[in-house]
Amino acid sequence: MWHSALLFLTLVFGVQCAPKEDEITDLPGLNYAVNFKHYSGYLEGWRGKQLHYWFVESSRNPSEDPVVLWMNGGPGCSSMDGLLTELGPYLISADGTLKKNDFSWNTVTNVIFLEAPACVGFSYDPHDNCTTSDDEVSLSNYMALQDFFRKFPEFKKNDFYITGESYGGIYVPTLAVRILQDEDNANIPLKGFAVGNGLSSYKLNDNSIVFFGYYHGLYGDNLWSSLVHHCCENDRANSDSCNFATPTNPICIKGVAIAMDIVYNEGLNMYNLYGKCLHSSNSGKMKRYFTDVGHLFRSQPKQKELFEKFKHRLMSLKSSDPPCTDSRDMQNYLNNPEVRASIHIPGHVQEWEICSDRVYAGYQRQYENMVEQYKYLTSHVPGLVYNGDVDMACNFLGDEWFVEQLGLKAVERRRMWHDGDQVAGFVKRFDNLDLVTIRGAGHMVPQDKPSAALKMITSFIFKKKY
């Protein structure tokens, strides 16, 4: 008899198995009532690695809305940045309070913010091993996802999407492929993936930023003419004829180094060309050079020489901020003992920093591009590649070239899309892959253009017109 009653209650109210010990019941700085549940705790990855997650349920219909995984990049940077400054339901203020984000992605989806790999943010390795690789990260993240659905089995029936930005261009596709190719994938219902301002190809990213720099007025005709003459076949400047990424001509190498220095190392905001360059209290020129800049022009002799010379000094630098950013508000908030207690961070876990130099210095990059991953994924699930069009870390042109060179059938020609009565950017749709730009946004699209970002992700997930 009681089995029938239990079945009835399950059908009527659903299965509520969320871990009570991870539920956030009193979040410091939150001065308004929220209409959703939120959780913070740990998921177990490969070899016992403990990956910190922060899960916010949808404020609309959590039992039916999709579940979205969000990952920031680096490699080695924290997804708390995504939570507290980009697409989360509450945004950090300088006074330590949390203000409501009307354009949070949890207005239409459930969102998991995962700090990965171990040693990033509040994530840790019990053996204090912070070295890792692309494949190990995807494996550990996959195991953490399986752990998430063990903790929250009620969400296994919801559609699931993987999203991320920057080095998420590697994290997202490699994780998605691993899920789809594993016959024992714990029935994770992967329905699609989205990559924002992602690193999809080192070569195309390097080649395209030189074009981007010239056509945005960052260097003059003398430098550009020299680059075209010494780096491009037959003095023709196009994506096929120019090799700025792996040049051999000494004059080309010198010219590319000058262009690279102007773009990344002279005070411009590499994440938003037209944004201010913020400076945290301990940031320095060398530090800026080896955060996200470190994945650019890696074949350049100057870059190789500097990285080998200075990588051992990374951990001695006090600021973990990427170039032209200031994470002190987040750092002060997340390291507040009351906040740590409210989000269930054990006392032995390190203080929170936005990026981990230990992870970055010991990270093994295994892929030059994501061509094979995208070809596999687009034959199984839909994808979205989106770019803020004034980002210089992973610029829109390189990702556009990457998508165009996949050879997918175009199903909708390039056109404007709108957010309200304003042009939000451009969209071109291919067979199972959408290519979208967001006008006036930089590297962190949901931060720069929150309304357009929400419309974009809603259009992709719910198959609405952009």
| Rounded mean pLDDT, 28-35 | 96
Question: What pTM was estimated for this model as a whole?
Answer: 0.91
- What's the pLDDT score for residue 254? 95
Does residue 201 carry a catalytic annotation?
no
Does residue 166 carry a catalytic annotation?
yes
Please report, for the chain, the start and end positions of each structural domain, with discontinuous segments joined by +. 202-351
CA distance 27 to 4: 39
Flag the least confident range among 7-11, 14-18, 95-99: 7-11
For residue 117, say if its preceding peptide bond is cis, omega within 30 degrees of 0: yes
**Is residue 378 within 8 Å of residue 431, measured between CB atoms?**
yes
Work out the burial of residue 392: count CB atoms within 10 Å of its CB; fewer than 13 is exposed, 13-18 middle, 19 or more buried.
buried
- Residue-wise pLDDT for 111-157, tens only, equals 999 999 999 999 999 999 999 999 999 999 999 999 999 999 999 99
pLDDT at 93 over 70: yes
| Rounded mean pLDDT, 348-366 | 95
| Rounded mean pLDDT, 419-424 | 97
Cα-flanking dihedrals φ and ψ of residue 113, to 5°? Answer: -100, 115
Crossing angle for the helix pair 301-310 and 250-264, to the nearest 10 degrees: 60
- Residue-wise pLDDT for 162-201, tens only, equals 999 999 999 999 999 999 999 766 679 999 999 999 999 9
Q: What is the DSSP letter of 24?
A: -
Flag the least confident range among 213-227, 272-286, 407-421: 272-286
Closest CA to 263 of 246, 248, 244: 244
- Residue-wise pLDDT for 298-315, tens only, equals 666 555 554 454 444 444
Which member of 166, 201, 208, 320 is catalytic? 166
Where residue 17 falls among pLDDT bands split at 50, 70, 90? confident
CA–CA distances in Å: residue 162 to residues 129, 312, 356: 26, 34, 23
Where residue 264 falls among pLDDT bands split at 50, 70, 90? confident
* Residue bearing tokens 């003459």: 229
CA distance 229 to 234: 8
Other beta carbons within 10 angstroms of residue 372's beta carbon come to 11
Where residue 323 falls among pLDDT bands split at 50, 70, 90? confident
Which member of 125, 321, 391, 448 is catalytic? 391
Q: What is the DSSP letter of 85?
A: I
Closest CA to 446 of 4, 67, 65, 102: 102
Does residue 319 carry a catalytic annotation?
no
Which member of 38, 52, 295, 443 is catalytic? 443
Q: Which residues pair with 426 in a beta bridge?
A: 416
Assigned token pair, 229: 């003459």
**Is residue 210 within 8 Å of residue 227, measured between CB atoms?**
yes
